Amino acid sequence: MAELHQLSTQQIIDGLANKQFSSVELTTHFLNRIEKLDSQVNSFITVTGKQALAQAEEADKLRAGGDTRQLLGVPMAHKDIFCTKGVLTTAGSKILHNFLSPYDATVVNKVNNEGMISLGKLNMDEFAMGSDNSSSYYGGVHNPWNLERVPGGSSGGSAAAVAAGFVPMATGTDTGGSIRQPASFCGLTGIKPTYGRVSRFGMIAYASSFDQAGSFGKSALDCAYLLQAMAGHDKNDATSIKRDVPDYVQALKDAESIQGDKPYNGLRIGVAKEYFGAGLNSEVEKTTRDALAKLEELGATIVEVNITDPKTTLATYYMLAPAEASSNLSRFDGVRFGYRCEDPKDLTDLYTRSRSEGFGAEVQRRILMGTYALSAGYFDAYYVKAQKVRRMIAADFAKAFESCDLIVSPTAPTTAYAFDANLDPATMYLGDVYTIGVNLAGLPALSLPAGFDNDGMPVGLQLIGNHWQEAKLLETAHLFQQHTDYHTKLSDIANG
Ligand code: GLN
């Protein structure tokens, strides 16, 4: 039999319900693995072992007393961008190296309310800015498929922890691809829901009009279970939307009953040539085209659509996201919480040195770019112009969705690259070229494993849906996973 960390979420849920193992046994197993192996991966910033075991004991008692919540006693972990009461919350930054949040983020509360066990806080790019986890103050994260490679970012700790078999599921956030791209690099499924589906309350802000939380798992069904727990309106977040949350898990189970060899009959898949331009690695392209052929073989129809040129999208994102970041990050001033420089001479020195010493290079670069774009002389030329382009990007997606149900593309132009690649910023930004359009338009999208390159590194496939089509995305991915086995392959670390 597979070891506990190799089980799917469904197997864990069934195993707990049938008393094959207890939550304490499960939690202990995962904590032991983290202790033994995470020094190689560096996926956790904080492990909350004692608290997790206490929660697991409580979960076992509740279950024995007849509590039938499905996720009761199931372990998970949070990206270190979600505030956790009394537990260190760093956002991957030195400036928050000592920050104990006085409250829990709504996502954390909701997951707790389902009885899930949080094993700790996961490493990430500083303030979620980055695509390979190299900007974390707490050190880079290594890809469990090959420790010499990056796991992607900014939710690289979340992806690596799931791929290493340290947790069955994890939360992440996606401002421009930070769930989908690490899912792709680490051979996982990861979903970024529609903007407004999940509360941002207590989630440290990078670019507020883009940021959205979502879930990572080995499969679409794993993601559905965790997203179900996270989603829903929250009066504490004015941008969260009052709209019923469908039963994602049930939708996937219903999809399984579609009989015959053409389960995708009637599904129109949009393919845009803009996603296959220069810079796309040939092995990633081949994998994507093979996956499209598989979808067609299973009954889907391919239609050609057009979206905004990804280069325009990239430029728009890297104007607007830093602008929002520069405003959001002004609260870290060395006065109220977080890092404060030694012996400031006066108030200006306190602000300047606390921020210069507390923020890393990438964060400072974005604050500079964003402040510039928002400054009086350049506001109209850059910020306002980019806002107008943002509307056009959303309109182009809306038009594409008139003739298709989903758009399929590569998630990223490459697979995971070398840990010591030290990419210059512009090259790193190019890696986001296929994911950021979705955030500019507020759309849902997911990445799922679609194959491997010649070095055995996972290749992800992106599915993009129209607003509120999370269930459709998850169902489509789930059906694909009924007919392929890429998502069942484990990294060396998870195999061991
Ligand atoms: N890589 C992108 C950036 O650096 C996206 C990050 C994210 O989604 N948080 O901004």
pLDDT number for residue 337: 87
Q: 310-325, pLDDT tens digit by residue?
A: 999 999 999 999 999 9
262 is catalytic: no
Is residue 259 pLDDT above 80, yes or no? no
pLDDT number for residue 280: 97
* Residue 76, domain member (yes or no): yes
Which of 178, 324, 443 best tests ligand 1's pocket when mutated (most atoms within 8 Å of CB)?
Answer: 178
Q: Sorting pLDDT into bands at 50, 70 and 90, what band is 389?
A: very high
Q: Sorting pLDDT into bands at 50, 70 and 90, what band is 201?
A: very high
Domains in the chain, number = 1
Q: 363-374, pLDDT tens digit by residue?
A: 999 999 999 999
Q: Sorting pLDDT into bands at 50, 70 and 90, what band is 260?
A: confident
Q: How far is the CA of 447 from the centre of ligand 1 (A)?
A: 15
Q: 270-312, pLDDT tens digit by residue?
A: 999 999 998 999 999 999 999 999 999 999 999 999 999 999 9
pLDDT number for residue 25: 98
Instruction: Kindly give the number of the ligand 1 atom that is closest to the alpha carbon of 131.
Output: 1
219 is catalytic: no
Q: How far is the CA of 17 from the centre of ligand 1 (A)?
A: 39
Q: Sorting pLDDT into bands at 50, 70 and 90, what band is 1?
A: low
* Residue 434, domain member (yes or no): no
Q: Which of 154, 219, 240, 326 is catalytic?
A: 154
Which of 133, 154, 192, 436 best tests ligand 1's pocket when mutated (most atoms within 8 Å of CB)?
Answer: 154
Q: Which of 8, 118, 178, 184 is catalytic?
A: 178
Q: Is 12 in the pocket of ligand 1 (CB under 6 A)?
A: no
Which of 136, 211, 316, 436 best tests ligand 1's pocket when mutated (most atoms within 8 Å of CB)?
Answer: 436
* Residue 293, domain member (yes or no): no
Q: Is 321 in the pocket of ligand 1 (CB under 6 A)?
A: yes
Q: 39-54, pLDDT tens digit by residue?
A: 999 999 999 999 999 9
* Residue 393, domain member (yes or no): no
Average pLDDT along the chain: 97
The secondary structure of the chain, three-state, reads CCCHHHCCHHHHHHHHHCCCCCHHHHHHHHHHHHHHHHHHHCCEEEECHHHHHHHHHHHHHHHHCCCCCCCCCCEEEEECCECECCEECCCCCHHHCCCECCCCCHHHHHHHHCCCEEEEEECCCHHHCCCCCCCCCCCCCCECCECCECCCCCCHHHHHHHHCCCCCCEEEEECCCCCHHHHHHCCCEEEECCCCCECCCCECCCCCCCCEEEEEECCHHHHHHHHHHHECCCCCCCCCCCCCCCCHHHHHHHHHCCCCCCCCCCCEEEEEHHHHCCCCCHHHHHHHHHHHHHHHHCCCEEEEECCCCHHHHHHHHHHHHHHHHHHHHHHCCCCCCCCCCCCCCCHHHHHHHHHHHHCCHHHHHHHHHHHHHHCCCCHHHHHHHHHHHHHHHHHHHHHHCCCCCEEEEECCCCCCCECCCCCCHHHHHHCCCCCHHHHHHCCCEEEEEEEECCCCCEEEEEEEECCCCHHHHHHHHHHHHHHCCHHHCCCHHHHC
* Residue 206, domain member (yes or no): yes
* Residue 360, domain member (yes or no): no
Look up the pTM and report it.
Answer: 0.98
Q: Is 130 in the pocket of ligand 1 (CB under 6 A)?
A: yes
154 is catalytic: yes
User: What's the whole-number mean pLDDT along residues 93-117?
Assistant: 98
- Which residue segment(s) compose the domain that 154 sits in? 4-259+445-495
Q: Is 310 in the pocket of ligand 1 (CB under 6 A)?
A: no
Q: Is 191 in the pocket of ligand 1 (CB under 6 A)?
A: no
Instruction: Tell me the CATH number at 470.
Output: 3.90.1300.10
Q: 143-182, pLDDT tens digit by residue?
A: 999 999 999 999 999 999 999 999 999 999 999 999 999 9
* Residue 118, domain member (yes or no): yes
* Residue 308, domain member (yes or no): no
Q: Sorting pLDDT into bands at 50, 70 and 90, what band is 36?
A: very high
